[in-house]
Structure 1
Amino acid sequence: MKVFIIGVGLIGGSFAIDIKAAFNEAEIYGVDISAQYLDKAMSLGFIDKKSSLDDIYKADVVIVAIPVDATVKILAEILNQVTDECLVFDVGSTKEKLCSSIRNHPKRRNYLAAHPIAGTEYSGPQAAIANLYRGKTNIICEVEKTAFKLQERGMEIFTRLGMRIRYMDPASHDKHIAYVSHLSHISSFMLGKTVIEKEKNERDIFDMAGSGFASTVRLAKSSPAMWTPIFKDNKKNVIETLEEYIANLTQFKELMKNDNFEKIHKEMEDTNHIKTILKGIV
C-alpha cells in the first residue's frame, strides 16, 4: 500500500508513524514544500521516500495534512491525478468550504472528508508521535459521497489506529468545532497576549505561573501558520462563538463590580457540570 502524506508535520507525521506500525506492507511517501521538513522526516524514519505531487498517480492512499487554506487550493489538483482506486482524505479542522470546493469534481467519490480531533501544541516533523490518534474521535463528513470500497479502506485505517468514528454534515461540524476547539485556541492566545503585555519581566512569568496558567495558555504555543487559516475559513462561526464568550466575560465583570459573589459562585457551580461531561478526557 503506497501512502502519500502531504504535510509531514505533527499530524501527517503521526499518521505515518502509526500506519507504518499497523500495516506491514505500507510504503510511506512524504510530500512537503519544506525540504528541511522532508529531510527531518527521513532522518526520523517515518517516511520511506521523498516525493512530490507529480507522483500522486502512484498512490493507494493520499493523506492531506496541511493548513486548510492550502488544502482548498490543491485538493482538486490531487483528485485530478489519482487513480479511481485511490482514497484521498484530509485532516483539516474546517469542512464546509472544502467539501463545497470539490462538490462537482468528477472524482468526488475518491475523497473522504475527515477530521481527527487530536494534536498537541507542537509542530513540525519532530513533534510527530506514536498513538496520537488512539482513542480519539474522527469526524467524517458526507460519507455517502465517497465510494463504498474507499470508505472501507479509510475505516480500516482509522480502526487500526484506534479512532472512534462520528458522522456529521460539514456545516454542523464547523459550527460545533468553533465552540469546542477554535474558541479555546483564541482564548489561550489572548490570555498569553494579556499576560505578556502586562508582565514585561519574563522571569516573573516563569517563576509565578502555576500549573493552572500553564495548562490554560498551553494552546498559545500552537502554530499561527495553521490556526490563522482556520479562523479565516470558519470566520462566521468563530465570530458567533466569540460574541457569546465576550458576553459571558462582560457579565462576569459586572458581577465582580457589583460585589455579587453569590451569583459568581452559582455561575461557577453550574459550570462545574462540565466535569461529568469531560470525565476521562485528559
Structure 2
Amino acid sequence: MNKIHIVGLGLLGGSFGLGARRKFPELKVTGNDISAQNLNDAQTLGIITESKEIPDSDTDLVILATPADTLGDLLIKTLDQVGPETLVIDLGSTKSNLCQRVQNHPKRAQYLAGHPIAGTEYSGPKAAFADLLDRKVMILCEMEKTDLHLKEKAYQLFDALNLKLRFMDPQEHDRHLAFVSHLSHVSSFMLGKTVLQKMADEKNIFDMAGSGFASTVRLAKSSPAMWAPILTENKDNILAALDGFIGNLQDIRSKIAESDNDSLHQDMAEINKIRDILDLGK
C-alpha cells in the first residue's frame, strides 16, 4: 500500500491519517476538507502529506469521513472518479441508505461500507490522534459485494491499526446503532438542554454538578454538524428507540410520583444486570 486519500479531515479521518502514517512511514496520504481551516490544520499536524481535491489514479484507498447527509453524493462522485485499482471506504454511522444508493453502480465492487465504533466528544483535526482506532470495532457491511483483491488493501490497513472486524447487514447495523449510539447522543443532548433551561432561572446549578452529570452529558459536546444528519439519516430506527425510551421515562415518572420505592428499587436492580453485559463485552 503506497497511497491513501482522505476526504473529511476531522476526528475520524484525521485519526485514520495519523494512524496510517505511523504504521507506514513511507505512505503518501493526500486529503481534502470543505473547511480551509481543517485542511490547513491537517497539513500542520501531519495528518496528510499533501492537499489534493481529487485522489491520484493509483491511490490504493479513498476514505470518506464527512457528515452522514453528504456521503451519498460524495460516494457516487468518488466512485465515478477513481481508477480500477482503488477501493473507496466510507466511515459513516448509517449504512442502509448508502448501500442502496450504490447497489447498481458499475463500480459497486470498489466500495466497502464501513463504520468504526470509535470517537470522542471532540471534533476537528486537532482532536485526532493515532491511537483512536486501536482495538476498536470496525463494522463492515455487504462484504460479498466488494472485490476480493481490493478488500486485501483494506485488511492491510485495518490490521495495522489493530481494528477488530465485525460483519453485519446494513439494516441490522442501523437498527442496533440507533439504540446503543444514536439514542445515547439524543438523551445526552436533551439532558444538557434541560439543565441549561434550569440555569436560566438558577445561575448556580452547575456548582452542584458532579461526575455523574459530567459523564452523562459528555456526548452533548459532540459536533452538531455530524450528529444532526445522523439523526435524520437513521430516522425510523431512532424514532423506534425514542418511543421505547420515552415509555420508560413515563413509567419511572409515574413510580416516582406514587412514591413507589419498592418498584423503583426492583427496576433499578434489574437494570443493574447491564453491568454484566458491558463487562462481558470488554
**1:44: which partner in 2?**
45
Structure 2 CA distance for partners of 1:6 and 1:202, relative to 1, 3 Å:
farther
Secondary structure of 2:92's counterpart equals coil
- Provide, for residues 94-128 of structure 1, a one-character-per-residue CA deviation record: whole Å limited to 9, x for no partner: 00000100000010001000000000000111010
TM-score, with structure 1 as normaliser? 0.96
Q: Are the equivalent residues in 2 in contact too, given 1:56–1:81 (CA < 8 A)? A: no
- What is aligned with 1:150? 150
Distance in 1 between residues matched to 2:59 and 2:169, nearest whole Å: 27
Q: Which residue of 2 aligns with 1:3?
A: 4
Letter in 2 for 1:7: G
Q: What amino acid does structure 1 have at the position aligned with 2:65?
A: A
- Matched position secondary structure for 2:112: strand
Could you tell which deviates more after superposition, 28-37 or 56-65?
56-65
Matching residue of 2:176: 176
What are the equivalent positions in structure 2 for 1:194-209 lying under 5 Å apart? 194-200=194-200, 204-209=204-209
1:154-169 pair list within 5 angstroms: 154-169=154-169
Whether the aligned pair in 2 keeps the contact of 1:72 and 1:98 (CA below 8 Å) is yes
| Partner in structure 2 of residue 17 of structure 1 | 18
Aligned AA for 1:23?
A: F
SS at match of 1:175: helix
Secondary structure of the residue aligned to 1:197 is: helix
How far the C-alpha of 1:201 sits from its partner, in A, is: 6.8
Q: How far apart, in 2, do the equivalents of 1:125 and 1:281 lie?
A: 30
* Cα gap change, 1:56 to 1:271, in 2 (>3 Å): farther
Q: Which residue of 2 aligns with 1:222?
A: 222
> If the length of structure 2 is used for normalisation, what is the TM-score?
0.96
Match of 1:81 in 2: 81
1:167 is paired with a residue whose SS is: strand
SS of the residue corresponding to residue 29 of structure 2 reads strand
Residue matched to 2:267:
267
| Residues 110-119 or 57-66, more deviating | 57-66
The offset of 1:57, in angstroms, is: 2.9
**How many Å separate the matches in 1 of 2:44 and 2:270?**
50
Is the contact between residue 110 and residue 147 of structure 2 (CA under 8 Å) also seen in structure 1? yes
Aligned pairs, number: 281
232-241 or 146-155: bigger deviation:
146-155
Give how far 1:280 is off. 7.4
* Corresponding residue of 1:68: 68
Deviation at 1:46, TM superposition (A): 1.6
Q: Indicate conservation of the 8 Å contact 1:56/1:78, yes or no.
A: no
Q: Is contact 2:133–2:162 with CA below 8 Å preserved after alignment?
A: yes
Using the alignment, how far apart are the partners of 2:200 and 2:57 within structure 1? 53
CA contact (8 A) 1:91 1:113 kept: yes
Q: Cα deviation per residue 1:129-174 (whole Å; 9 max; x = unaligned)?
A: 1210111111100000000111111112111111111100000000
Structure 1 residue identity aligned to 2:144 = E
Query: Does the CA contact (< 8 Å) of 1:29 and 1:51 recur in 2?
Result: yes
Go from structure 1 to structure 2 and tell me whether the alpha carbon gap of 1:202 and 1:61 turns closer, same or farther (over 3 Å shift). Answer: farther
**What's the CA shift for 1:56?**
4.7
| Secondary structure, counterpart of 2:69 in structure 1 | helix
